[in-house]
């Protein structure tokens, strides 16, 4: 019997979940290629994005943004003005970002999707849209990994554009930061919008007093900070750091989160301008993340 390819295994795996985000570790790493692969091989799904703003070209590099393929019978949320042709409007939404439409493709189509709002709003709309479809696929974005804790499962996309093997392993491990002990979490949650210093004497500080928290961290066992922590700030904290989720930490070191993320798969973009062996990154990632499906939708030996 022929072995099941990894790119087929991921299709079976994500059918266990309702909300799935595809998140790239760098710009132009092949994230939309993975979204298209999933959406083309699954039925009754809806596609959203947390990363696009309706632009045809990448704002940073000026490269053409790939279209999202919408299979007949699948859904997407797109700007209302683009809801034409072979797209049936199911419902409309008036949001801060503009007017949007939930559409269903009457034949296979190519669409441009746009960001509807922040993480909370995107998650709320995703929950609502599950009334119309079996699952949601969110086209994530470089630098917007904050959507990941809201999702039932995530697929991380990496490749030469996001660095060498060592660099990619480091970035993925950071996303997999462990959830803090429940006893500590219980002491943080009532004050989750403030800084919390936990030790012999607990202290609650205004969330903007990060410098004061850094100075007092030597007397604490844990310090919870609901703010983005850069490398300079992180290097000066003398206790264990807790943050809402892994995207709050820009620096390097051990930290804990309130919201752990579930990684169902790691997609590898083996297509690169570099002269590389495409198996090197795939095999390297498999050796480290042996309980996660590592796959490439374009190259699957």
The residue ranges of every structural domain in the chain are 6-176+261-295, 182-257
Q: What pLDDT score does 1 carry?
A: 41
pLDDT for 52 beyond 70: no
Q: What is the mean pLDDT of the chain?
A: 89
Please report, for residues 98, 179, 238, the alpha-carbon distance to residue 222 in angstroms, rounded to integers and kept in the order given: 42, 13, 9
Closest alpha carbon to 146 in 33, 63, 226, 255:
226
Q: What pLDDT score does 58 carry?
A: 42
Residue of 158 and 143 predicted with greater confidence: 158
- Cα gap 86→198, rounded to integer Å: 57
Q: What pLDDT score does 279 carry?
A: 78
Q: Return the number of other C-beta atoms located less than 10 Å from residue 69's C-beta.
A: 18
CA angle 35, 29, 231 (to 5 degrees): 115
Reduced to 3 states (helix: H, G, I; strand: E, B; else coil), residue 134 is: coil
- Cα gap 277→216, rounded to integer Å: 50
Q: What pLDDT score does 94 carry?
A: 95
Q: What pLDDT score does 276 carry?
A: 57
- Cα gap 148→20, rounded to integer Å: 9
Closest alpha carbon to 300 in 1, 11, 44:
11
In this prediction, residues 245-251 reach a mean pLDDT of 89
Q: What pLDDT score does 60 carry?
A: 35
Candidate from 225-239, 253-267, 269-283 with smallest mean pLDDT? 269-283
Q: What pLDDT score does 66 carry?
A: 66
Contact 265/294 with Cβ under 8 angstroms?
Answer: yes
Stated as kind and residue range, the H or E segment containing 87 is strand 87-95
pLDDT for 175 beyond 80: yes
Q: What pLDDT score does 272 carry?
A: 55
pLDDT for 138 beyond 60: yes
Contact 126/78 with Cβ under 8 angstroms?
Answer: no
Residue of 143 and 24 predicted with greater confidence: 24
In this prediction, residues 241-259 reach a mean pLDDT of 92
Q: What pLDDT score does 298 carry?
A: 84
In this prediction, residues 194-207 reach a mean pLDDT of 94
Q: What pLDDT score does 269 carry?
A: 83
278-293 confidence digits (pLDDT tens): 678 899 999 999 999 9
Percent of all residues in the chain with a pLDDT value above 70, rounded to a whole number = 89
Stated as kind and residue range, the H or E segment containing 45 is strand 45-49
Q: What pLDDT score does 55 carry?
A: 43
Closest alpha carbon to 157 in 57, 38, 251:
38
- Cα gap 111→132, rounded to integer Å: 19
pLDDT for 9 beyond 60: yes
pTM of the shown model: 0.88
Candidate from 24-28, 239-243, 263-267 with smallest mean pLDDT? 24-28
Which CATH number describes the domain made up of 6-176+261-295?
3.40.50
Contact 209/195 with Cβ under 8 angstroms?
Answer: yes
- Cα gap 127→133, rounded to integer Å: 10
54-77 confidence digits (pLDDT tens): 444 443 334 445 689 999 999 999
Residues forming beta bridges with residue 257, ordered by sequence position: 179, 243
């Amino acid at each position: 019997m022929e072995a099941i390819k990894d790119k087929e295994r991921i299709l079976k795996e994500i059918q266990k979940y309702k909300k799935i985000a595809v998140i790239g570790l760098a710009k132009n790493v092949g994230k939309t290629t993975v979204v298209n692969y999933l959406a083309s091989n699954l039925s009754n799904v809806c596609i959203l994005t947390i990363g696009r703003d309706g632009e045809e070209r990448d704002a940073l590099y000026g490269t053409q943004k790939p279209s999202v393929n919408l299979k007949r019978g699948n859904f997407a949320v797109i700007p209302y003005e683009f809801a034409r042709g072979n797209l049936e409007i199911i419902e409309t939404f008036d949001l801060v970002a503009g007017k949007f439409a939930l559409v269903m493709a009457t034949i296979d189509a190519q669409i441009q999707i746009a960001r509807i709002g922040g993480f909370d709003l995107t998650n709320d709309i995703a929950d609502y849209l599950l009334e119309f479809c079996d699952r949601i696929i969110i086209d994530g974005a470089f630098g917007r990994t904050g959507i990941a804790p809201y999702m039932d499962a995530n697929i991380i996309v990496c490749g030469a554009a996001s660095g060498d093997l060592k660099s990619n392993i480091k970035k993925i491990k950071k996303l997999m930061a462990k959830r803090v002990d429940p006893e500590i979490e219980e002491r943080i949650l009532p004050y989750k919008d403030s800084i919390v210093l936990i030790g012999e004497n607990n202290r609650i500080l205004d969330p903007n007093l990060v410098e004061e928290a850094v100075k007092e961290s030597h007397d604490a066992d844990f310090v919870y900070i609901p703010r983005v922590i850069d490398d300079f700030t992180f290097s000066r904290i003398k206790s264990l750091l807790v943050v809402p989720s892994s995207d709050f930490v820009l620096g390097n070191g051990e930290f804990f989160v309130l919201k752990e993320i579930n990684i169902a798969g790691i997609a590898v973009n083996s297509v690169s301008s570099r002269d590389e062996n495409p198996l090197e990154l795939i095999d390297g990632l498999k050796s480290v993340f042996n309980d996660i499906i590592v796959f490439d939708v374009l190259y699957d030996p």
